[in-house]
Amino acid sequence: MKTNDRLLTIANMIALILSFACSSDDPSPNPISNGDPVGPISAIDFKSIPIPTYELVLEAYENISIISPDLLVEESDQLSITLFEEIKQLSNRRSTGNDRILYESLSDKLTEEEWKLVLTNPYKSFLAFLTLKPSFDDSGSSFSCDPNLSLKDTKVDAIRHAYWNALMTLKISDMTFIEDLTNAHESNSDSEAAKLMDLHNNKIGRELALQYPTATGNELLTILLQYDFLFVDKGQPIPETYQGLVYIEGKKIFDVKMKGSLSNPDSGGPWDIEFDIYECGNTIRGNFTITRGAERQDRRFSGTMVDGLILLEVSNPLVFENPRGLYACTGMRMNLTGNEKSLEGRWTSSNCYRGGTVLLSNEN
C-alpha cells in the first residue's frame, strides 16, 4: 500500500473511532445560537429579562433623567445600554407578568417588536413614551360620558390611538419611526379587525398633526372629539378614501350621517349641509360642512340631547382652521328636534343676526 493511501486509511479509522466515542443514546442538545443583537444588546442578554411594561420603561427613563440627564438628548448606544441595565434592575424588583390589554393601562407589557425598537431607538422612544400618559388620561376623561362602555374598539379607543399619534408627531420629526412604533404595537393584536381599525386611526392622528403643525395637543384633541366617525362591521373593509376615525364596537342610535339644507338670509340664500353626528351618553358631538357653489365651510359642534331636543353649540373656527380669514357666523347655536331619521330646527348667531333654519335627513 502506498504511503498516501495508508495515511488516508488511518485518518478515516480515527474519524470513525471518534464518532463512536462521541455518540450516545441521549445526544447533547444543539448549541444555543446567539442570534442577532438588538442594537448594542446581545441576543442572549435581550432574552435574559422579561419584556417590560410601559410603566417600567417610563420609570427607567425617569431614573436616567436624574442620574445621567446628558444621555437623554440624542440616540446613542450608551443610552440603549443604560436603559437596558436600568430596566433589568427594576425587573428584578417587581413582576412584569401582566397580560396586555391593548393600551387600556400603562401596566401592559410592550410587544417584543416594540421592545426591540425601544432599544434600537432609545431617544425617540423616550420622546414617544412621554406622550403615553397624556393620550390615555386626556382622551379617556374627555369621553367620560360613556363610563359603562368598554373602551376596547370603541370611539374612545379610536380617539386614543389618533391622539397618541398626533402627540408623537408634534414631538418627533421622524415619521418613519412613529409609524414603525405604532405598527410594532399592533404586532400582537388579538383580532384582524381591531388591528386594521387601530392602524387606520393611528394614520389619521399623524395626518391631522401634519395638517395643523401649529396646533397644540389640546386643540388637536378638541378636533378629534368632534371628528367624523364611521362604524365598520367586523370583517368588512375600511373604505380606502375615508379620512375620519373608525370604530367596530359600541354603535349608538345617534351615530349617524345626515344631509339637508341650512338657510342663511344674511349670506343671501340656503347652503347644502352634511352633518356627521355621534352620541356619547346624553352628549352629542360632531361636525358639519356647508357648501354653496364653490364656497365651503367646515364647523364643529357639541351639545346635549334630552327627550328628543338637541341643543348644540357650534365651535368658532380655530385660527389655523380658517387660514384665509373667511367670514364665519360666530356664537352659533342650534335647537333641533326629531330622531335619528330626521332633525329640524332653528339656529342663531352673534353676528349673523337673522339666523336661519336647519333641515336634516338620514338617507340610510
Three-state SS string over 253-317 comes to: CCCEEEEEEECCHHHCCCEEEEEEEEEECCEEEEEEEEEECCEEEEEEEEEEEECCEEEEEECCC
The pLDDT, as a whole number, for residue 321 is: 83
Nearest by Cα to 89 from 67, 71, 121, 111 = 67
Which sequence spans correspond to the domains of the chain? 50-99+106-130, 131-251, 256-361
Which residue is it, cell 444543539? 30
Q: Out of 3.20.20.70, 2.40.50.140, 2.40.128.120, 3.90.245.10, select the CATH number for domain 256-361.
A: 2.40.128.120
Task: Chunk the chain into consecutive blocks of 10 residues (it has 364) and report each block's average pLDDT, rounded to whole numbers.
Answer: 45 41 38 73 95 94 96 96 96 58 66 96 96 87 70 88 96 96 88 93 97 94 94 92 94 94 90 94 92 90 91 91 84 95 96 95 84
The pLDDT, as a whole number, for residue 15 is: 43
The pLDDT, as a whole number, for residue 93 is: 66
The pLDDT, as a whole number, for residue 259 is: 97
Give the type of residue at 227.
Answer: Y
The pLDDT, as a whole number, for residue 8 is: 43
Give the pTM.
0.84
The pLDDT, as a whole number, for residue 147 is: 63
The pLDDT, as a whole number, for residue 10 is: 41
